[in-house]
Structure formats: structure tokens, C-alpha cells
A = this chain, B = another copy of it.
Amino acid sequence: MSIHEDARKMKLVAPYLAASASEARDRALSLIGVSLSAHAKDIYTANNIDMAKAEDAGISSSVLKRLKFDEHKLASVLDGLRMLRDLPDPLGHITLHRQLDEGLVLTRLTCPIGVIGVIFEARPDAMIQIASLCIKSGNCAILKGGKETTHTNEVVFNLIKDAAKEAGLPEGCLLQATSHSEIDELLECHEDVDLIIPRGSNAFVRYIMDHTKIPVMGHSDGICHIFVDESADQDMALKIIADAKTQYTAACNAVETLLIHRNIAKEFLPKLYKHLSDNGVTLKGDFQTRGIIPVEAIGKEGCIEYLDLIASVKVVDDINEAIDHINRFGSHHTDSIITSDSESVRVFNQLVDSAGVYHNCSTRFSDGFRYGFGAEVGISTSKIHARGPVGLEGLLTYKYTLEGSGQIVGDYADGKKSFNFKDLD
């Protein structure tokens, strides 16, 4: 069957999954855990095939680490499933309850978005996390994982699908896309798919955003900044910058540009240069920076996302120049100020237009697990719908129900009746 036909069918299944009992969705999560444990060996065997192919293809050891599915990862996935299962049902929460007039009552309730397409990197644990977030939130999902985990994903997906069925969830509520060409087909299904969540490289996410009419939740660039204010605890700044740059270079929340207050540049830049050199980081500087420390010039393309042990350094006149730079050249992801001045914190928090605005801590905290969301489907730099790390809440919308007893608008338009708004408990 084609993705088009599958998505069309799934759209009709979606309301039934949305109406499923909380107990059935939670039971599916329990059964997935049981099934993954019981079939651990099958998963490892499939994963070994993927690993061997990846090694043959000369894939780097850091990527291999992500492909690997072992007991350690299984244990962490099982923890995640339990944690998610034990969260309260996110569906059917009343967020507005209002009498419009005597006997005419408006209620706004949370409900699932419907049909979500998620395209994610080659990580077997990602498949499990994403599928379980979709089940808990009552969303149908079309899942497409990275091709390097084809064998592992096939085994894992079938276990998940069977568990969902056994728990009594409607058949056809989860679907796996397996070939790369199916991505383009998925992007065409704007009549049936409500949301696409792409994870992966900038270029890939941008491709998705440019080739579909379906709303896309995610981020392409992650150009995060740290501004070292004149009153900063400089040792703290060094420690935070090294963490934000080196702890996981390939992450979207790693820092890329360092903005240094002019009044401390002469004192701080040499310390920064030494500390980051010791940590294997190469700096590139603007004109003023290069007057103080011996670094290369920032390239013509400006302060970009390096995703590597490289950072741009720029000297700024004051906090306002720092904020303007961040708002203009940043990607509205996560930006941090290091300062001891509470007024600077207030101004920075108010004026920096980013999903995460931090004070005296590393940009690397921008993550659904670290925010205590249990899991995340991704991080959004959009200001529409969810922003920042996206957990269950970002997979919900709402509907309005209006309960009447024969009311018509004509009576209100003619002045025979008038509205009598009253918020109810």
C-alpha cells in the first residue's frame, strides 16, 4: 500500500485513537516494555546486522555509538516507558469552561493533534521514545527512522505495533515507513497528516520545511550564544563555555558564538584562549578580538553553526549590542548570559527572543529530559505552537464543545437575547 493510502486510512482511525481509554494507552506502554524485554535477543541480533553494515560502510565511531542497542540502552528505554506510563493522561483536560448564556455552555478540552509524521535519526531508542509519546498522547504516527538502523527498527516497530494491538488500541494507529522515497510521499499528504516532526541535519530539516504544505515542528539551525558581561564571574564563564562547546559538539544546543563585553575583553580573552585551547577548541575572532588574542578571522559567512570544536568570538560594546547580535544572527534556540548583575539578567531575559534564555548556566541544558519532561520529540525554534524542547504538551491541541438547548444566533443578533458570560469551575 502507498503512504498516501495509509495516511488516508490513518486519518479515519485517528478519532478512535483519540477517544481510546487512558488505561488502554497506558497498558500499551506497559506491554511494549514487556515485549522489548522478552525479545531483547532478537533486537540485539538485528542490531548486530545493522552495526556490521555500518562498520563496513566506514561510519564514524561516534555515530556507531548511537546505532548500538544494548542492555544499557534497553534499561534506559524501559525506565522512560514506565515514567511516561505513570504520567497523568494528557487528554480531556478542561482548559476553559464558560457559560455563554443560560443553558449554553462552552468547554475547551485538550485532544491529540491527529496524524503525525516523525522522521528521525538512526537511533533505535528514538523509535521507542517517539512511538510511546505518540501513544500516550493519543496520536497516530507514521515513523521513519534512519536507514542505518533498518533491521533493528523493523524488529522494534513490530513489537510496538503488536503491543498496541494487544492493548486494544485501534489497528493502523502506528505505521512504519521504511524506504527513503516514502519521505517525499509523506510530505505530499497534507490532507491527511497534521504535523511533520523532522529530526536530523540542518540541510535535511530545511529540505522538509521547503517541500511540504504540512506544518513542520522542529529546528534547522542551532546557533547558540553565550554573552560574558562585564560583571561576570570569569572562572564560572570559562567552565560554562567549555561545557557548552565541548560536552557534545554535534548537539543543536552547543554554543557557537561567544560575545564578550568590551570592558573585560583585554583581561578575559587571553584566559578564554588558553582554557579553550586546552580543551581542543579553535577560536575565530572579529577584528577587536584579534587585536587581543592570536586567532583566525571569522569567515565571510559570519558567525555560523560549526557543530565542531570551533567557536566565533566577538567583542561587544554593551549588553544591548549583545542582544541585538543574538536576535539578528542567532537562531532563537538557547542563549545564555554570564553576569553578576541582576539588572543585566532582567534586560537579557526580556529582550532576547529565544526559546531558552539562560543565566549563569550552560546552553546544553536545553533538552526535554533535563527540563523534566520525561522525553522529547524534538526542540522547536518556531514561535507557533510548541517552542523549545517538546514533550507531550506539544503533541496536543484542543477542541471546543458547545452544549445548547436550541439556541440560535438570530435571537442574539436581533437583540431578543443577550450573552451572559460567566466562567464556570
Contact = CB atoms under 8 A, between A and B. Distances in A.
B400 A355 contact: yes
A215 B386 CA distance: 13
A236 B103 CA distance: 15
A345 to B, nearest CB: 8
Interface residues of A, number: 78
Interface in A370-425: 370-372, 382-385, 387-388, 397-410, 412-413, 419, 421
Contacts of A60: none
Nearest to A16: B351
Nearest to A243: B408
Given A233-B406, A361-B406, A401-B359, A327 B100 contact: no
A359 B404 contact: yes
A228 to B, nearest CB: 13
B357 A400 contact: yes
A40 interface: no
A277 interface: no
Given A194-B383, A194-B384, A362 B409 contact: yes
A404 to B, nearest CB: 3
B98 A371 contact: yes
Contacts of A12: 324, 327-328
Nearest to A360: B404
Interface string A240-267: 1011100110000000000000000000
Contacts of A16: 351
A210 B190 CA distance: 12
B327 A361 contact: no
Contact of A372 (B328, B412, B421): B421
Interface in A141-184: none
Contacts of A195: 383-384
A84 interface: no
Contact of A358 (B358, B398, B404, B421): B404
A137 interface: no
Contacts of A210: 213
Contacts of A355: 399-400
Contact of A413 (B247, B383, B397): B247
A29 interface: no
A242 B406 CA distance: 12
Interface string A113-151: 110000000000000000000000000000000000000
User: Ordered nearest first, which 9 A-B pairs have the shortest CB separation?
Assistant: A361-B404, A243-B408, A364-B409, A372-B421, A19-B350, A383-B397, A215-B384, A15-B351, A385-B385
Given A113-B383, A384-B385, 7 more contacts: A15-B352, A240-B406, A247-B410, A349-B401, A359-B401, A360-B406, A365-B407
